[in-house]
Amino acid sequence: MAFIADALSRIKPSATIAVSQKARELKAAGRDIIGLGAGEPDMDTPDNIKKAAIDAIMRGETKYTPISGIPPLREAIAAKFKRENGLDYKPSQTIVSTGGKHVLFNALMATLNAGDEVVIPTPYWVSYPEMVALCGGTPVFAETTIATGFKLDAATLEKAITPKTKWLIFNSPSNPSGAAYSYDELKALTDVLLRHPHVWMLTDDMYEHLIYGDFKYYTAAQVEPQLYDRTLTVNGVSKAYAMTGWRIGYAAGPEKLIKAMDMIQGQQTSGACSIAQWASVEALNGTQDFLPERRKIFEGRRDLIVGMLNQANGIECPTPEGAFYVYPSCAGTLGKRTETGKTLETDEDFVSELLEAEGVAVVHGSAFGLGPNFRISYATSTEALEEAGRRIQRFCNSLR
């Protein structure tokens, strides 16, 4: 009798974590490595948020919290959704968990039965299909293309839906592509879901505040109020507020779903870290003045790396609307040989040889369900990005 659960055979390790770990190991061994694999801001948590955490410690806010979150944070979440998204949620319709990943996992665990299908557009965040599989569901992939800016269209979504479909997982701005959906693009998708009342929408809005130029952000229940009763709107403080290590994600949705998620969380982790929750109250209720400045920095980095990638032989890189990723195609390099005689046959070959030859760590696109591409996180210094761009150009120019 096998000791390890069969469920683990259905999932793979995280490719993004693996790339970051390999980059750390090579650095420790003395290699000059530029790591562009990690999806976290290089900026620090704002001082007012840190102070709120320190104040909470000094007040003795160090006890167990309610499973679904401290009341002031649930109130702040409801106020945030009203203020920024025009959505009316009561605090009882919200839940706080240990990171956005935990929110998603709770929702899937609370709703999926064997045979239930979940539509996931490609390219996708690496954890979506693995979480679906671990919870007993079946991922169904709806492909996008570089020609459409990696955005799902209505016809493709319609084709992916079956009587077994329970959820559409929707991420805008997207990890890994940075693609963000306009009002009209989102409305076309919500119109499809109106024709399929058995399908719920799980919107991962984690990169909501990282949008560039004149782009205006919308979330699904805002665009189509008729979907309010079958939408879980997920967000968190990690990306916009540079609070990745604080591990706070949150969501709002119908009370029956929130109660089911609360039940799972109550037997799994109970409430999230008390100090991180008090810091998150300040993040949501406090000043947002730093956000435009940080957006401008990220936008400059995006434009820099897109420009440099498009000057590299065999690389095509669209300009994304948001997040802090680009998702260039390396199709033009496949079939070529490196200086060491290795023929590049896949995007995995490309990123492996790039790391070996030039010390630039990126993530291969097939890990996100769509290749031949690779993902670069530009949440790093401008200097590091410029050097990485030069190294990628040099590597591509060396191919024969």
pLDDT for position 39: 84
pLDDT for position 177: 98
pLDDT for position 7: 84
pLDDT for position 26: 84
Measured distance between the N- and C-terminal CA atoms of the chain, rounded to whole angstroms: 52
Query: Which pLDDT tens digit goes with each residue over 68-82?
Result: 999 999 999 999 999
**CATH 3.30.565.10 holds for 62-285:** no
The full 3-state SS of 95-132, as one line of letters, equals EEECCHHHHHHHHHHHHCCCCCEEEEEECCCCHHHHHH
Strand order in the sheet with 325-326: 325-326, 374-377, 363-364
Residues of the chain where predicted confidence (pLDDT) is lower than 50: none
The pairing of beta strand 200-204 with beta strand 231-236: parallel
The structural domains of the chain, with segments of one domain joined by +, span 6-44+290-398, 62-285
The pairing of beta strand 138-143 with beta strand 117-122: parallel
Query: Which pLDDT tens digit goes with each residue over 174-184?
Result: 999 999 999 99
Spacing of C-alpha 284 from chain mean position: 19
Is the whole-model pTM more than 0.85? yes
**CATH architecture for segment(s) 6-44+290-398:** Alpha-Beta Complex (3.90)
pLDDT for position 12: 81
Structure tokens at 68: 């679904």
